[in-house]
Structure 1
């Protein structure tokens, strides 16, 4: 019997979904018959027989012999392994994951290392639980934020340079074998270290109607901010909106009618180029579009941009909802008058300040990086969208009070709002 088996087949996962089957597998740590298992678990033998057959079909148990019990011959079963762990691959039906791992070697190694760590930890737990072994182990987890990709690379280089002498000093050929692991990867639950966002929007119109809203010049002019200067929706074509000193551009890479649009947005509103993919799908009640924007960079120029653009898409698509539902086109997005001069990230406590623009309203009011803004003027602030409402409502030159939390103190300060984009 193997010590451990990784469950990678859907039929095996389905077989393990029944709680009684898990109990049967645990009871079969030593070979036993259906009658013995039924007696120990206090359930009918016919029930145990049925579930053993299902486990056998899923190749999770096997026949290992027979024994006589009175006038009967009992079949003995044992599991194919002492412990089972479910591999995340069993839920990966989409082929893009395999392609991504094939294209990104370090990511593939991270996935394989994670699976190995899961298996090793389960085996060691069994040795402690069933064999009484004291397991000498240690785990260290740390979160570090790198300002640039170069800093991250230098950290790995320095770590490996320090690790080599330690392994040479303390490792011996005849000693007990231990595994030492290091993984460095973005926190998957922390949006600030991601280079993309994804948002899905549902509509009650056919997918063909939704497609036209994104690709027809007249339709776009009705709901999307600004007035289009030129539009050519084909691979290699572009849509252009004048934006004062520069043009805002969609440069099309992929155009699959009623299914998929991919375009690049050159630097301008953002510090660097990003790519946007819109996937269109028919649903039972209408249609949906999934927007993914990637290419958000690192460093101070990019702080807060990902969250701002994700919020911007939500507000822009509210204009589209209105237009498709009522036929009324009304731009509620590009309506800023003033600016507070802060870049923030939304937290459960409120918007936390990432950047303070020199000479801005925020700097005049004494706001610093790390503060949480709770009120500006008479308006409470719960998130970035509240700051946007304030900047759209108040004129530049207005003097307002800001309230913000720093550590365990509630602070106040006054400043003058600047002109938007100045």
Structure 2
């Protein structure tokens, strides 16, 4: 069964850089296709497409779904092994947040990178053990009237989180969870002060 999201955590799975052509191939292979059909669609030679498909197959980015006999040769039909592929930040380097205040963009990026890596690794371990990884996500949007409101909101949120942590924390017998809360401006949407609060 195809995954919704494939996380590349090992550099060798990239099998070289994830070039524009390879990204196009992954997009095209949301539906099964062969080197011949892809070459015609993308205006490339079948040999070039076939080389890239074989490298991507070695890295687990595409998978074989069918072998067809066509004009005296065997045609390999492949598809992307996941609906979406992301590269874990640790493939490029380790993001550190030493000395950053909680309002720095780098602090949020570092926390997001660490969360990304941790959850990807835990999901792999759970899959290998045949278990479900239990996580939770809270996501909302807020329109702040003034920049100073962001700091006040953050402080009140931190205070409430500390209260909740004190109420639910069970160091002797509980399962440990990391809770990460961050905020960033909404991308690509015009500001609408009349929009109701979520």
**Cα distance, 1:70 vs. partner?**
2.9
Contact 1:15 1:21 in 2 (8 A): no
Q: 2:90 aligns to what?
A: 89
1:72 Cα offset (Å): 2.4
Alignment partner, residue 111 of structure 1? 114
| Cα deviation 1:340-365 (Å, max 9, x = unaligned) | xxxxxxxxxxxxxxxxxxxxxxxxxx
Matching residue of 2:26? 25
Residues in 2 aligned to 1:14 and 1:43: alpha-carbon distance in whole angstroms:
20
Task: Give the match for residue 41 of structure 1.
Answer: 42
Provide closer, same or farther for how the CA distance between residues 82 and 185 of structure 1 changes in structure 2, counting only shifts above 3 A: closer
Which string of whole-angstrom CA distances, capped at 9 and with x for unpartnered residues, describes residues 190-213 of structure 1? xxxxxxxxxxxxxxxxxxxxxxxx
Return the offset for 1:88: 1.3
Distance of 2:55 and 2:9 partners within structure 1: 17
Match for residue 156 of structure 1 among 155, 161, 164: 161
Matches of 1:110 and 1:55 in 2, distance apart?
A: 25
Alignment correspondent of 2:151: 144
Give the match for residue 210 of structure 1.
none
Are residues 139 and 15 of structure 1, via their aligned partners in 2, closer, same or farther at CA, if it must alter by over 3 Å? Answer: farther
1:11 Cα deviation after fit: 2.4
Contact preservation (8 Å) 1:66, 1:74: yes
2:61 paired residue number? 60
Residue 114 of structure 2: SS of its match in structure 1?
helix
The CA distance in 1 between the partners of 2:10 and 2:72, in whole Å, is: 39
Q: Normalising to structure 2: TM-score of the pair?
A: 0.53
For the Cα contact (< 8 Å) 1:60–1:79, is it kept in 2? Answer: yes
Q: Distance in 2 between matches of 1:73 and 1:30?
A: 19
Counterparts of 1:17 and 1:34, CA distance in 2: 18
Task: In structure 1, list runs of 5 or more residues that go unmatched.
Answer: 98-106, 117-136, 162-181, 188-422
Structure 2 gaps of 5+ residues are 98-109, 120-137, 145-149, 166-178, 185-198
1: CA distance between counterparts of 2:56 and 2:113?
31
Q: Encode CA deviations 1:68-124: one digit per residue, 9 max, x unaligned.
A: 223322011122211101221222369x89xxxxxxxxx9898326986xxxxxxxx
Is the Cα contact below 8 Å between 1:3 and 1:82 reproduced in 2?
yes
Give, in angstroms, the shift of residue 63 of structure 1: 2.0
1:67–1:78 distance in 2 versus 1, CA, 3 Å: same
Instruction: Give how far 1:20 is off.
Output: 0.4
Q: Which whole-Å CA distance do the structure 1 matches of 2:50 and 2:113 have between them? A: 41
Q: Which has the higher helix share?
A: 2
Q: Which has the higher contact order (CA 8 A, sep 6+)?
A: 2
Secondary structure (helix, strand or coil) at the match of 2:32 reads coil
Aligned to 1:3: 4
Greater strand content: 1
Question: In the alignment, is the contact (CA less than 8 A) between 1:15 and 1:55 conserved in 2?
Answer: no
CA–CA distance in 2 between the matches of 1:147 and 1:4? Answer: 31
Confirm or deny: 8 A CA contact 1:38 1:48 kept in the other structure. yes
Quickly say closer, same or farther: Cα 1:109–1:19, change in 2 above 3 A: closer
Q: TM-score normalised to the size of structure 1?
A: 0.27
Matches within 5 A, 1:277-288: none
Q: Which residue does the alignment assign to 2:104?
A: none
Contact 1:67/1:75 (CA < 8 Å) preserved in 2? yes
Structure 1 Cα separation of the partners of residues 82 and 4 of structure 2: 5
